[in-house]
Chain A
């Protein structure tokens, strides 16, 4: 499967984009020409030049350096968030689909309750209780989004549970845990991976929403969502300040989406 994946152009492109973002995050101190938080008001909005390849922002901070460091902050939040959401979603969704009617009703009711509130309201409430910081942001996004993931897994799992091979496995005496791990999860994983990959962009944008509201990460932190929000005021005078972080978010989201879809195709044997 891995060999086939590496022959798939979509997967290679997706992986290449993810690698660019990952390398930028890992090697940011080596790649960034300046300290991302070093201000120099004499360089306010300087146009691109050899010293500042992408120019400087309203505080004279190197835009390129902030974008490179931004990969670290954005992925540092998105990856743990998605890992937690994946585990929670798969566990609760599969449990809801296989655990009997009573458990399904209870979990569906809890999910519906969470889904009925806007995600941002839940997240703001959590941050309001726990205070700002990376941990609070991660926890608030997880609490705001887990119900969507669990619901999605439940719908995939319920569809799969109606198929004859699950029935055959049950009739043959396959236990619930084995059924979930060996037959159910591998078959819902392709669709779930694609859904998960779209979550990267959602979580980056959610963090940017927090930054806009003054919640979450400190304002000086170089983070794409925060940079996008703070550049909104200069959309007519310096639109490039909005475009650069936007392109970075696009690259990250496109990388994860392309790779997720290629992976789905290969897992389903269509690739």
Chain B
């Protein structure tokens, strides 16, 4: 992937005129990360879902453009979208418990994804599953493969989802608040797995309300409020010297003190 580009992306409810996301533009290149940061209800998830084309057409009006390497993603048919998602684009939702089929073992689910998106035989698929689980920090690969989602913790499931993205070689990973339900240790480990994904060349679109997670990941940040971008720039620079009052309030509200180094986040 060379670039994901959103231009004046606007989302509004068809019944109401007021936009939920108002003319947001950004570019996200290979091996980079873009963080959408803001309070609940500011339009972060809506932006993600609009990029993914997941908003119901009968309820939402989406305008502007979203393109992946120049090909427009908005308005793609379900069939054409299936060719892009999974293989080139992976989505990691907030709640990993509902992101995986509870009745099917992790190994079978990962295998099904690989079967849909690659032409590997079963032996090579198995090897790819094990290696991507190891890469995402899950060492007991056999046990994880045999387990059903309810047998693993939230942090482990998040890493399974990251492993799915790794195994398919997704070029763009969209993660919607993947660290919300995790404690600090697991949060850091999960963010590190995203750093690893980025280092392998994937572009990461990361949604969070947690400044610490954003700082640990690094990259460009869009601070959002009421559907608009109030500030943008490198996350560490924004944190060090916030420009808008809202960003200052977010920095103050985060549990970090000014003396905290990025490595401590």
Contact = CB atoms under 8 A, between A and B. Distances in A.
Interface of A: 163-165, 167-174, 182-183, 186-187, 189, 267-270
Interface string B213-239: 000000000000000000000000000
A268 B102 CA distance: 8
Contacts of B151: 269
A58 to B, nearest CB: 52
Contacts, number: 53
Contacts of A163: 98
Q: Does more than half of chain A's interface fall in helix, strand or loop, or is it mixed?
A: helix
A221 to B, nearest CB: 42
B113 interface: yes
The 5 A-B residue pairs with the shortest CB-CB distance, nearest first, are A173-B82, A186-B103, A172-B86, A171-B85, A164-B99
Given A163-B98, A165-B98, A269 B82 contact: no
Interface string B237-257: 000000000000000000000
Nearest to B117: A172
Contacts of A171: 52, 54, 81-82, 85-86, 91
B115 to A, nearest CB: 10
A173 B98 contact: no
A269 B148 contact: yes
Interface in B98-141: 98-104, 113, 116-117
A183 B95 contact: no
B95 A187 contact: no
A168 B95 CA distance: 13
Contacts of A167: 54
B86 A173 contact: yes
13 contacts: A164-B99, A165-B98, A165-B99, A171-B52, A171-B81, A171-B82, A171-B85, A172-B86, A172-B113, A173-B79, A186-B104, A269-B150, A269-B151
A173 B148 CA distance: 23
A164 B95 contact: yes
